[in-house]
Amino acid sequence: MNLRAYLKLRRQMVDGALQRWLPAENEFPPEIHRAMRYSLFAGGKRLRPILALAGAETVGGKAVDALPLACSLEMIHTYSLIHDDLPAMDDDDLRRGQPTSHKVFGEGLAVLAGDALLTEAFYLLTRTDLMTGVSPRRRLRAIRLVARAAGSLGMIGGQAMDILAEGQKIEGHLLEYIHSHKTGALIAASVAAGAIIGGASEREFKTLRSYGEKLGLAFQVIDDLLDIRGEPRKLGKSTGKDRSRGKATYPAFFGITDSRRQAEVLVEEALLHLRLFPGQANPLREIAKYILKRTN
């Protein structure tokens, strides 16, 4: 398959739906809606939504049924980036190649834009006029999964430990906790919730969740490596900040070569989970391989 063409089509599908389902820019108060849209449409690979669509299709479901879920995941992800960039957290000036939300709108509106994206994401997930082909039971299960992954037992928990670990000497298991929660949880939930919407059996669901967990951890290990070796122009953000802030990262703990090897092993393990799905998981296969090659 042509991954580049596939990703482009999927990004267009997600972006079109986000345009339709997000409050319009001229909706009162326009400042908050402008701030929400500014970060959401600043670019971004749309990895989490694309994984949700692919998760649904891998188990025989329709991508269109998973589109509200896909959009909600991108909204949650974008909220986490806006808050992560705030002076109280990583204090970054550049994201997705543009000045960060608080640089453009001020800290107050940036906090609120993140809050609103998170809230609207769950509003979207409960819209009964969308996802009409999906039973309420499956929808509810997907919503619960996303909520857990975004909350204090998932992404927020990982982010909290990431902040607390700054400048500290930590154990390897805590490093893995941080990475698998601050980044891995939402990525794993994207594939797993997509699978639920697509009508996965319990076995299919667990297999795709395991694939997502391996992929999510690999994704953050590569992110750590890109912070050292990546090009700011391609990444759309500054590099080298992990080291200067004393962040808990894989390269800081294991070194560059070993970290790279661990990411490769995680992707190999992710691919092994896909043996259950011969042909229909090809997008998930290609995405896993792409994670290792990505430059942004």
> Any contact of residue 44 with ligand GRG (CB under 6 A)?
yes
Among 220, 242, 266, 287, binds ligand GRG (CB under 6 A): 220
> What Å distances lie between residue 75 and 93, 118, 183, CA to CA?
20, 6, 15
In angstroms, rounded to a whole number, what is the distance separating the alpha carbons of residues 97 and 63?
29
Q: Judged by CB under 6 A, which stretch of 43-51, 101-109, 126-134, 202-210 contacts ligand GRG? A: 43-51
Residue 272 Cβ, how far from ligand GRG at the closest point, in Å?
23
> Any contact of residue 80 with ligand GRG (CB under 6 A)?
yes
- List, as one string, the DSSP characters of 146-171: HHHHHSTTTHHHHHHHHHHHTTS---
Strand partners, 239: none
> Any contact of residue 247 with ligand GRG (CB under 6 A)?
no
Single-letter residue type at 81: L
Among 223, 227, 266, 285, binds ligand GRG (CB under 6 A): 223
- List, as one string, the DSSP characters of 93-116: SEETTEE-HHHHH-HHHHHHHHHH
> Any contact of residue 75 with ligand GRG (CB under 6 A)?
no
> Any contact of residue 141 with ligand GRG (CB under 6 A)?
no
Among 155, 195, 215, 218, binds ligand GRG (CB under 6 A): 155
Q: Which is nearer to ligand GRG, 115 or 206 (CB)?
A: 115
Q: Which is nearer to ligand GRG, 59 or 263 (CB)?
A: 263
Residue 68 Cβ, how far from ligand GRG at the closest point, in Å?
18
In angstroms, rounded to a whole number, what is the distance separating the alpha carbons of residues 262 and 253?
12
Residue 60 Cβ, how far from ligand GRG at the closest point, in Å?
27
Residue 133: CB atoms within 10 A of its CB come to: 12
Query: Within positions 174 to 213, which residues make up the interface with ligand GRG, using CB under 6 A?
Result: 182-183
Q: Judged by CB under 6 A, which stretch of 7-15, 25-33, 73-81, 244-252 contacts ligand GRG? A: 73-81
Q: Which is nearer to ligand GRG, 207 or 259 (CB)?
A: 259
> Any contact of residue 81 with ligand GRG (CB under 6 A)?
yes
Alpha helices in the chain (DSSP H): 3-21, 30-40, 47-58, 67-84, 101-105, 107-125, 136-150, 155-165, 172-179, 185-197, 202-229, 232-235, 241-245, 250-254, 256-273, 282-293
> Any contact of residue 84 with ligand GRG (CB under 6 A)?
yes
Among 10, 33, 96, 260, binds ligand GRG (CB under 6 A): 96
Among 58, 72, 101, 159, binds ligand GRG (CB under 6 A): 159
The token pair at 73 is: 């995941």
- List, as one string, the DSSP characters of 115-139: HHHHHHHHHHHT-TTS-TTS-HHHH
Q: Judged by CB under 6 A, which stretch of 80-88, 121-129, 193-201, 250-258 contacts ligand GRG? A: 80-88
| Residues 173/30, Cβ–Cβ less than 8 Å | no
| Residues 204/276, Cβ–Cβ less than 8 Å | yes
Q: How many chain residues are in contact with ligand GRG, going by CB under 6 A?
A: 16
> Any contact of residue 11 with ligand GRG (CB under 6 A)?
no
Of 123, 122, 111, the residue nearest 149 (C-alpha) = 122
Residues that bind ligand GRG (CB under 6 A): 44-45, 47, 77, 80-81, 83-84, 96, 155-156, 159, 182-183, 220, 223
